[in-house]
Amino acid sequence: MPEHSAELIRRTRNAIRDIPDFPRPGILFKDITPVLTDPQLFRDIIDSFARHQRDNSIDVVVGIESRGFIFGAPLALAIGAAFVPMRKPGKLPFEKVRIDYALEYGNDSLEAHRDAIGHGQRTLVVDDLLATGGTAAAAARLVEQLGGTVAGVCFVVELAFLEGRGRLSSWPVDSLVVY
């Protein structure tokens, strides 16, 4: 997989804002909203991920609720793929498939429409941040449960010290900025 440019990594890292003690004491939140207020940086990030996926024959991009939607939808357009939102329970109106998974602080679930991903469709899972990997691993398993093939997972930010990449070892992982 090609590398993201050092310049893009630097610009993105400089735009990400640290918010101490959010959402609870002891957490240093990586805020990507300043990235989104810079249209050229936002475009460059999407273009870089699109270059990385150019030869992967991606049919579907899955965005994980909610910030995965922000990066997943334009990436799907850039590579000519369908976009599928993977949502928290109760937000999709059609027949759904659900996966439950454990987090470090409890349990959660994701849902997708039963017909969102066809058998064998090559799928890219996208989110803004990789922490412990639980949500992304659940999303990838749900893609497989729907009959798709996970071609990779990508993130704007990876918190490597939380070792989430290890939970995703079955799939190629692409992260732009690693802390």
Tokens of 128: 């803004």
- Tell me whether residue 158 is one of the annotated catalytic residues: no
* 67 labelled catalytic: yes
Q: What count of Cα atoms within 13 Å lies in the side-chain half-sphere of residue 36?
A: 10
Q: Which residue has 């957490």 as its token pair?
A: 27
Find the catalytic residue in 7, 17, 104, 165. 104
Q: Write the CA distances from 44 to 1, 131, 156, integer angstroms.
A: 17, 23, 12
| CA 15 – CA 67 distance, rounded (Å) | 16
Catalytic residue (one of 67, 87, 165, 167): 67
Helix (H) or strand (E) holding 101: strand 96-103
Angle at 77 between CA 149 and CA 75, to 5 degrees: 65
CA angle 134, 154, 10 (to 5 degrees): 115
**Residues annotated as catalytic (active site), given as ranges:** 67, 104
